């Protein structure tokens, strides 16, 4: 009987190990978009990344974190199960394509110019006279297309767009107001040209991600917001809070 019990224990132990090994890993994808998501010396960090890590710590769900070009990250989240992309602007065009966990961030979009460039649109219609830069796959690109901007410059990432703006290759760039403020505080020669509407940003998750997991992620995020952790993370990165 001892041999039978021992064999059964081994079988059960092997099953447990197998279940753990086969557990789904939630893929969290993001881009180089400081101060929310960025890599430094091989470490991924940022105001949104810290929120994501705290949320996953409270869930006991295996996860991975990877930085990719934004258009690729967004496509993978839409087409691969158990995949989410952040920090993602939530607009009408994207609404039904993903399951949402938000807000990692509440912010307004702003068109930014190089300091003293003289580019000074009073409204959206006047801004259409200029070349406006943004990132490929970013919701601001959709915004520009939907508003019939004739001269849109698409780059792979925000760093490239900023370099183009500072180098005089484009006239304006679109980004979040908080991101602009962080870049300005770093000493970049940028200033606001036109403030646009507000937007929620969060996790955009594949439609096949189980609702139960989405609800748990939402609950963890709401906990970070309610106890002030989100605002403390924002302050750490020189950002004003959502409230």
pTM of this structure: 0.73
CATH code 3.40.190.10 region(s) in the chain: 24-106+200-236, 108-199
pLDDT tens digits, residue range 75-119? 999 999 999 999 999 988 899 999 999 999 998 889 999 999 999
pLDDT of residue 199: 85
Q: What is the CATH number of domain 24-106+200-236?
A: 3.40.190.10
3-state secondary structure the chain: CHHHHHHHHHHHHHHHHHHHHCCCCEEEEECCECCCEEEECCEEECHHHHHHHHHHHCCCCCEEEEECCHHHHHHHHHHCCCEEEEEEEECHHHHCCCEEEEEEEEEEEEEEEECCCCCCCCCHHHHCCCCEEEECCCHHHHHHHHCCCCCEEEECCHHHHHHHHHCCCCCEEEEEHHHHHHHHHCCCCEEEEEEEEEEEEEEEECCCCCHHHHHHHHHHHHHHHHCCHHHHHHHHCCCCCCC
Q: What is the CATH number of domain 108-199?
A: 3.40.190.10
pLDDT of residue 23: 59
pLDDT tens digits, residue range 118-143? 999 999 999 999 999 999 988 899 89
Please check the confidence at residue 229 and state whether its pLDDT lies above 60: yes
Q: What mean pLDDT do residues 185-189 have?
A: 94
């Amino acid at each position: 009987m001892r041999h039978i019990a021992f064999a059964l224990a081994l079988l059960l132990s092997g099953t447990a190990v197998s279940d753990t090994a086969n557990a789904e890993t939630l893929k969290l994808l993001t881009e180089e978009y400081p101060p929310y998501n960025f890599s430094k010396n091989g470490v991924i960090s940022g105001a949104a990344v810290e929120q994501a890590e705290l949320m996953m710590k409270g869930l006991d769900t295996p996860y991975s974190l990877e930085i990719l070009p934004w258009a690729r990250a967004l496509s993978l989240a839409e087409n691969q199960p158990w995949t989410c992309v952040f920090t993602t602007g939530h607009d009408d065009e994207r609404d039904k394509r993903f399951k949402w966990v938000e807000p990692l961030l509440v912010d307004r979009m702003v068109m930014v110019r190089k300091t003293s460039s003289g580019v000074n649109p009073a409204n959206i219609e006047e801004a259409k006279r200029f070349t406006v830069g943004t990132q490929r796959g970013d919701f601001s690109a959709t915004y520009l297309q939907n508003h019939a901007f004739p001269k849109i410059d698409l780059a792979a990432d925000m760093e490239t767009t900023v370099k183009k703006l500072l180098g005089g290759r484009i006239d304006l760039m679109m980004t979040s107001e908080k991101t602009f403020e962080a870049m300005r505080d770093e000493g970049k020669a940028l200033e606001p040209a036109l403030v646009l509407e507000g937007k929620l940003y969060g996790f955009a998750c594949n439609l096949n991600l189980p609702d139960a997991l989405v609800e748990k992620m939402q609950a963890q995020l709401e906990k970070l917001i309610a106890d002030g952790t989100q605002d403390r993370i924002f302050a750490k990165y020189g950002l004003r809070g959502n409230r």
